[in-house]
Chains A and B, each alone.
Chain A
Amino acid sequence: MPGQKSAVIFAWILLIPALAYVAAIVVYPLLQTVNLSFTNASLRRTTDYIGWENYAKIFDAEFATIIGRTFLWTFLSVSIKMIIGTGGAMLLNAALPGRALFRILTMPPWIVPMAIGIFMWGWMYNGQFGMISGLLQRFGLVDGPVAFLAYGNTAFWATIITDVWIGVPMVTMYMLAAVQSVPQDLHEAAWTDGASRFYRMRRITLPMIFPAAITMSMISLISTFNSFDPIWILTQGGPSGSTTTMIIDTYSTALGSKKFGEGAARAVVICLFLSAFALLYFRAITKLSKRMTT
């Protein structure tokens, strides 16, 4: 296109508002977080630089447990999201009457305010009156009421399931798009050769949607690692820390105990992990696209 130079200037003029906004609200606070992590900032008026003291303080056995728990929680949540979402996508792709309606019915968890969906889960997990405990008792699977959020082990799983519930619509719709983009002639050719439906699913659909599944897991990994609402609303990290992930830990250190400096150090550790995930994500994408083209 002619007029290259003026076009480039125009492009930058158009970009400046969005760039300035993100710089002010995301980049600057991010740098501030790093800066704060070397101070003893709190509600007190004075703030001193204390070097690596915060980092030395936070790396103890408890923090190691929290990191381990966060990884386990994230891994389980992402895996279950992917399994349910991919399974759901295949079912919603089947040429059955009513599938348009079923697809719409998949979306509510994504579209209603997340917090409100989580309130409803809070009631479901209630031992005396909730649906889950009630149905389990009705079918004789448990003897008495089970208060899911009152015990570490069950609370851990309860928060995972609620997080899965929030993520499932997005994974399902994304994987549905992937399933639909598998060329129909592949299926037809295999079908002509007498391949069964199960064989075609295993040898055509699954390999073809594999790259999309990797992409989706990576996106899901980052958002799940950052997950705050389900845990905070259901348990606030309890009982006795059994659902405290790194995000929850950072939040309660910084805004619960008002230890801004120490909280910032914890936030920086989270950012380091997130950057590692992002790197992993880009490497996976480039590797996949290389494999697909050669």
Chain B
Amino acid sequence: MMKKNAMIDRYRWWEVVLMYCGIFVFLFFVLAPFIEGFLVSLKPLGLLFSTPYKFLPENGSFKAYFTMWESVPEFGRYIFNSFFISTVITVVVLLLVVPASYAFARISFRGSGTLLGAFLAVNMFSGAVLLIPLFRLMRAYGMLNTYWAMIVPGVAFLIPTAIWLLSTYMRRIPRELDEAAYVDGASHFYILRRVILPLAMPGITVVAITTFIGAYAQQFIFALTFNSKTEFMPLPIGLYAYFGRQEVIWNELMAASFVGITPAMILIFALQRYLVAGLTAGAVKQ
């Protein structure tokens, strides 16, 4: 088997060259903004605006990475807010989604298919369509300009994919296990807590990671609309305020962006196997 595969996958030299060229172009497209952003962060502000365009920085330095802490005084706060908001969202989503997924995956009841479909339909509507009533709802409950303004709507739009992922995972746990426990007189609650939960832990981990990343990567529109207090702003909105100014200190903005995304980058390398599972399973909605 191995040998046959090896032969079928043997490429001629020009095929290898062609494919590496293709991969290079593809990855260049994907990574170009990061390359550019990184190079900009190294260039001294004065040289940044020099023409003609120079790809590589002359007298590049990491100075912007130190000076930005003074130019963007709230920077640490923004990063903390981003992580805080994403963490709370993840916890709330898990609290709502774990029981619901158990119900969908392990108990057959009338209308479960339709209900699951209804949950998935939530994915269709972006927050933008619901902003006006949400704005009024937040105002009515005094949640505007608080962390809740970003947490409450954030949770709602991460529930569907999380339920889908986790119920698919739980469905794969063999039925015999809970049946045996049931025959021994265990209650449904006991089965959920002592049989299914421990076995579903890897699935719950994947859901937690994808939910966290979803919450971390997509925080923009709610934070833009429902919060105007600097002390609650997540990183993207905090930096957006600087981005919109007349005189943007580009090298520091880019440096700040890089420091801000470093935790996410570390996550990618540490958890990439989970990510692929989450990314692809999240897309499968058949």
Contacts and interface: CB of A to CB of B under 8 A. Distances in A.
Interface in B237-264: 237, 239-240, 243, 250, 253-254, 257, 260-261, 264
Contact of A173 (B153, B220, B276): B276
B199 interface: no
A124 B236 contact: no
B225 interface: yes
B279 A110 contact: yes
A138 B53 contact: yes
Chain B interface size, as a band, is: 35 or more
26 contacts: A3-B188, A15-B104, A18-B99, A25-B155, A30-B133, A96-B19, A103-B276, A106-B26, A107-B275, A110-B213, A111-B264, A111-B267, A113-B234, A114-B236, A115-B237, A115-B240, A134-B53, A138-B53, A174-B280, A174-B284, A215-B286, A222-B124, A226-B125, A247-B129, A255-B131, A274-B129
Interface stretch (A54-62, A71-79, A147-155, A264-272): A264-272
Interface in B1-46: 4-5, 8-9, 11, 15-16, 19-20, 22-23, 26-27, 29-34, 36-37, 40
A111 B275 contact: yes
Interface of B: 4-5, 8-9, 11, 15-16, 19-20, 22-23, 26-27, 29-34, 36-37, 40, 48-49, 51-55, 82, 95-97, 99-100, 102-104, 107, 109-110, 112, 115, 119, 121-126, 128-137, 152-153, 155-157, 159, 163, 175, 178-179, 182, 188-189, 192, 213, 216-221, 224-225, 234-237, 239-240, 243, 250, 253-254, 257, 260-261, 264-265, 267-269, 272, 275-276, 279-280, 283-286
A197 B213 CA distance: 38
Nearest to B95: A17
A91 B100 contact: no
Contact of B82 (A113, A219, A277, A278): A113
Contact of A84 (B8, B29, B110, B115): B29
Contacts of A33: 129-130, 132-133
A122 B33 CA distance: 9
A250 interface: yes
B129 A128 contact: no
A84 to B, nearest CB: 7
A174 B53 contact: no
Interface in A77-130: 84, 87-88, 91-92, 94-96, 102-117, 119-124, 128-130
